[in-house]
Chain A
Amino acid sequence: MNKKLKSTFKSNEIYIFLIIIALGILVQIRSGQFFTGNNMVDLLSAMIVPGMFAVAEFLAIIAGGIDVSFPALASLSAYASTRILLDQNYDGNVILAFVIAMAIGALLGAVNGFLIGYLNLNAMIVTLGTSSVFQGFMQGALRAKQLSVIPSGMKEFGTNSFITATNKTNNLTSILPYTFIILLIVCAVMFFILRYTIFGRGIYAIGGNPVSAHTVGFNVKRTKFFMYIIIGMIAAAGGICRVCMMQQMHPTNMLGMEMNIIAGVVLGGVALTGGAGTLIGCILGTFLIILVQNSMILLGVPTTWSNVFVGIVIVVGVALSAYQSIRTEKTKKKLVKEAA
Chain B
Amino acid sequence: MSECLLKAEHIQISFGNVHALKDVSLEIVPGEIHCLAGENGCGKSTLIKIISGVHQRNGGTIEFDRKKLEKITPIDAINMGIQVIYQDFSLFPNLTVAENLALNSELASGKKTISWKNVRKIAEEAIKKINMDIDLDEKVSRLSVAQKQMVAISRALMFNAKLIIMDEPTTALTKKEVDALFKIILKLKEQGIAILFISHKLNEVFEISDRFTIFRNGEMVATGSTGELDDKKFTYYMTGREFADKTFIPEKVTDTPIFELRNLSLEGSFENISLSLRGGEILGITGLLDSGRTELALSMFGLKPATSGEIIRNGKPVKITNPREAIASKIGYVPEDRLSEGLFLQRSIGDNIIISEIDSLKKKNGQFDLKKRDEEVDRWVKEFEIKTKNPENPATTLSGGNQQRIVLAKWLACNPDVLILNGPTVGVDIGSKHDIHAILQRLAQKGLGVIIISDDLPEVIQNCSRLLVIKEGSIVAEYDTQQVKEQMIIDAMM
Contacts and interface: CB of A to CB of B under 8 A. Distances in A.
Interface in A208-245: 208-209, 211-213, 215-218
A236 B113 CA distance: 26
Given A197-B113, A208-B95, A336-B144, A218 B90 contact: no
Given A336-B144, A340-B288, A198 B92 contact: no
Interface string B162-194: 000000000000101000000000000000000
B355 interface: no
B92 A209 contact: yes
Interface string B83-111: 00000001111110001000110111001
B142 interface: yes
Interface stretch (A72-80, A199-207, A286-294): A199-207
A196 interface: yes
B185 to A, nearest CB: 21
A217 B114 contact: no
B85 to A, nearest CB: 12
A328 B142 CA distance: 9
Contacts of A205: 92, 95, 103
Given A201-B99, A332-B142, A276 B174 contact: no
Given A201-B103, A204-B92, A340 B174 contact: yes
Top 6 nearest A-B pairs by Cβ distance? A275-B94, A208-B92, A208-B94, A212-B90, A217-B107, A276-B94
A275 B99 CA distance: 13
Query: Which of B111, B141, B174, B289 lies at the interface centre, i.e. has the most chain A CB atoms within 10 A of its CB?
Result: B141
How many chain A residues sit at the interface, stated as a range, is 20 to 34
Interface of B: 74-75, 90-95, 99, 103-104, 106-108, 111-114, 116, 137, 141-142, 144, 174, 176, 288-290
9 contacts: A195-B114, A196-B116, A197-B113, A201-B106, A208-B95, A212-B91, A215-B90, A216-B103, A340-B290
Contact of A208 (B74, B93, B142): B93
Contacts of B174: 340
A270 B142 CA distance: 17
B114 A197 contact: yes
Contacts of B94: 204, 207-208, 271, 274-276
A216 B91 CA distance: 10
A337 interface: yes
B290 A336 contact: yes
Contacts of A211: 90
Nearest to A10: B142
Nearest to A273: B94
Contact of A340 (B75, B103, B176): B176
A195 B112 CA distance: 12
Given A336-B290, A337-B290, A196 B113 contact: yes
B320 to A, nearest CB: 25
A174 B149 CA distance: 57
B142 A197 contact: no
B260 to A, nearest CB: 29
Contact of A212 (B92, B288, B289): B92
A209 B148 CA distance: 14
A187 to B, nearest CB: 19
A213 B288 CA distance: 35
A209 B288 contact: no
Contacts of B106: 198, 201
A161 B113 CA distance: 36
A209 B113 contact: no
A205 B103 CA distance: 9
A111 B187 CA distance: 52
Nearest to B111: A198
A131 B380 CA distance: 53
B92 A213 contact: yes
Contacts of A196: 113-114, 116
A276 B92 CA distance: 11
B93 A209 contact: yes
A209 B94 CA distance: 9
A196 to B, nearest CB: 5
A218 B107 contact: yes
Given A198-B113, A199-B112, A201-B114, A217 B93 contact: no
A340 B114 CA distance: 37
Interface string A270-305: 010011100000000000000000000000000000
Contacts of A204: 92, 94-95
Contacts of A199: 112
A119 to B, nearest CB: 23
Contacts of B141: 276
Given A209-B91, A212-B90, 5 more contacts: A196-B113, A198-B111, A201-B95, A205-B103, A211-B90
B108 A217 contact: yes
A196 B93 CA distance: 19
Contacts of B90: 209, 211-212, 215-216
Interface in A185-200: 195-199
B114 to A, nearest CB: 6
Contacts of B176: 340
Contacts of A212: 90-92
A198 B114 contact: yes
A274 B94 CA distance: 9
A336 B145 CA distance: 11
B165 to A, nearest CB: 14
Contacts of A215: 74, 90
Contacts of B93: 208-209, 275
A204 B93 CA distance: 10
A174 B10 CA distance: 81
A336 B93 CA distance: 18
B255 to A, nearest CB: 41
A198 B112 contact: yes
Contacts of B107: 198, 216-218
A184 B58 CA distance: 58
A218 B95 CA distance: 15
B493 to A, nearest CB: 12
Contacts of B74: 215
Contacts of B91: 209, 212
Nearest to A197: B113
B285 to A, nearest CB: 19
A217 B142 contact: no
Query: Which of A213, A215, A271 lies at the interface centre, i.e. has the most chain B CB atoms within 10 A of its CB?
Result: A215
A197 B144 contact: no
Nearest to B175: A340
Interface in A297-340: 328, 332, 336-337, 340
A211 B74 CA distance: 13
Nearest to A329: B142
Nearest to A339: B144
B102 to A, nearest CB: 10
Contacts of B144: 336
Nearest to A193: B113
Nearest to A275: B94
Contacts of B137: 7
A201 B92 CA distance: 11
Given A196-B114, A201-B99, A336-B290, A217 B92 contact: no
B199 to A, nearest CB: 23
A140 B62 CA distance: 63
Contacts of B104: 216-217
Contacts of A336: 144, 290
A25 B90 CA distance: 47
